Amino acid sequence: MAGSGSVSITAATVEPALLDLPWSLPLDEWPSEYIAQLPKGISRHLVRFANLSGYVVAVKETTTEMARHEYELLRTLQRLDVPSVEPIAIISNRTDTSGNELPTVLVTRHLKFSLPYRALFSQTLRPDTATRLVDALAVLLVRLHVMGFYWGDVSLSNTLFRRDAGAFAAYLVDAETGQLHEAGLSNGQRENDLEIARVNIAGELMDIEAGGKAAPELDPVAIANGIIEKYRELWQELTGAESFAASDRWRIAQRVERLNDLGFDIGELTINTNDAGTTVRIQPKVVDAGHHQRRLLRLTGLDAGENQARRLLNDLDSYAATRGKADPDDEATAHQWLRRVFEPVVAAIPAELRGKLEPAEVFHQLLDHRWFISQEQGRDVPLAEALTSYIDNVLRHRRDEATVFAPPTETMSLSMSLADDLDTER
């Protein structure tokens, strides 16, 4: 182990590289060779990023009790498939070379392609970007509340964001104030989380405004208030009951379709008729986000964000339609689309540019770029031509959003065979 001193490691899986980090030093004294230079959010505790066996971890100094509490909560959220960072280990009983006690640390895996909200704008935060961040946080908060999780410190700073087909997907990154209630949350608990979110978001946006990093038209209070409306709209759609005549049974399918469009599946429905037998009351019982993610994963094996999955599925469905396939869920058609369309696009990205965006986001942006230049030129631009334009005119000018990069050992270009595939198929 780097340095000397004692240490105890609690981890769900064995990660021998943890022993190589300098636990005998206070976190703020770690040598630069261990540190990964990544943008950080605001935290009440000292947090630093470190390179660990090919990926990046966040190391946070805290108390032993709080580290254990957060570690167990994050493990539970992972099992429940809630968007959150992955806990790696608790490092306790730390001492320096003189035998002095050092704080316990919590180690979590840094979410690749994610950024704190302050790093998502390079010069000025525009109102539409701020609104999309708040909307993503509202979706995450609803998911947590459906699971019976009370956050207690909802804020943009305690959240990481990943691009998701023009929107953002939010991930919980700080759970030290969280509580999981198996019986579910009361309205008072949910409203308290909402009020905490509103106040924190307004303060965070005002701080950006005071630093001259906000567009003049940005209204921090109005945007912060927007989380209330977005949350309640989504909560009502997911949990609200509705009544209609028994002859309008089609409305059941309509309700399910609306939930699917929001990215949720219905695990169970409760339907009750009244004494007269003329109306039906419907209320979803169990909902899980990721409807489009699961369909894409089932058909292609691709794991993408919900909005990315929706966009890729739209392209898959279009591909099936152009081939006269009545059922876009046909696995053979999905395999053809994957092999002839998606994979050639990913393979054509030069190696030195692959840290810019994750593959699903690249494909989404390529489709947008293709539509834009087709409109501009008044013709249907082939996918291979659009890909070359996108790489040269868009992707090369983006900053990297991955956190770890392998040394570029080769430069891949769009081979003639891949170009032929794309031109032929699209």
Domain ranges across the chain: 8-109, 114-239, 242-286, 331-425
Task: List the single range of 94-103, 226-235, 237-246, 292-301 with lowest mean pLDDT.
Answer: 237-246
pLDDT at 70: 95
Architecture label for domain 114-239: Orthogonal Bundle (1.10)
Architecture label for domain 8-109: 2-Layer Sandwich (3.30)
For range 402-417, the mean pLDDT: 38
Task: List the single range of 207-216, 222-231, 328-337, 410-419 with lowest mean pLDDT.
Answer: 410-419
pLDDT at 325: 66
For range 53-64, the mean pLDDT: 88
DSSP string, 190-208: HHHHHHHHHHHHHHHHHHH
pLDDT of 4 over the 50 cut: no
pLDDT at 412: 33
What is the dihedral sign for C-alpha 292, 294, 299, 303? positive
pLDDT at 294: 82
Give the other-Cβ count within 10 Å of 321's Cβ.
11
Would you place residue 61 in the very low, low, confident or very high pLDDT band (cuts 50, 70, 90)?
Answer: very high
Give the other-Cβ count within 10 Å of 136's Cβ.
24
Partners of 286 in the β-ladder: 268
Partners of 269 in the β-ladder: 284
Best CA proximity match to 105, nearest among 93, 113, 116: 93
Higher pLDDT, 294 or 62: 62
For range 207-234, the mean pLDDT: 91
Eight-class DSSP state of 35: B
pLDDT at 66: 94
Distances (CA, A) of 351 to 250, 344, 354, 391, 392: 50, 14, 5, 12, 14
For range 234-257, the mean pLDDT: 81
Q: Residue 39 in contact with residue 116, Cβ under 8 Å?
A: yes
> What percent of the chain clears pLDDT 70, i.e. is strictly above it?
85
Task: List the single range of 34-43, 131-140, 230-239, 350-359 with lowest mean pLDDT.
Answer: 34-43
pTM tops 0.75, yes or no: no
pLDDT tens-place string over residues 157-208: 999 998 877 778 899 999 999 999 988 999 999 999 999 999 999 999 999 8
Angle, helices 359-377/306-322, rounded to nearest 10 degrees: 60
pLDDT at 402: 54
φ/ψ of 152, rounded to 5, equals: 85, -15
Highest mean pLDDT among 193-207, 266-280, 347-361: 193-207
User: Cα torsion at 391, 396, 397, 399 (round to 10°)?
Assistant: 120
Residue 88 tokens read as 């790696």
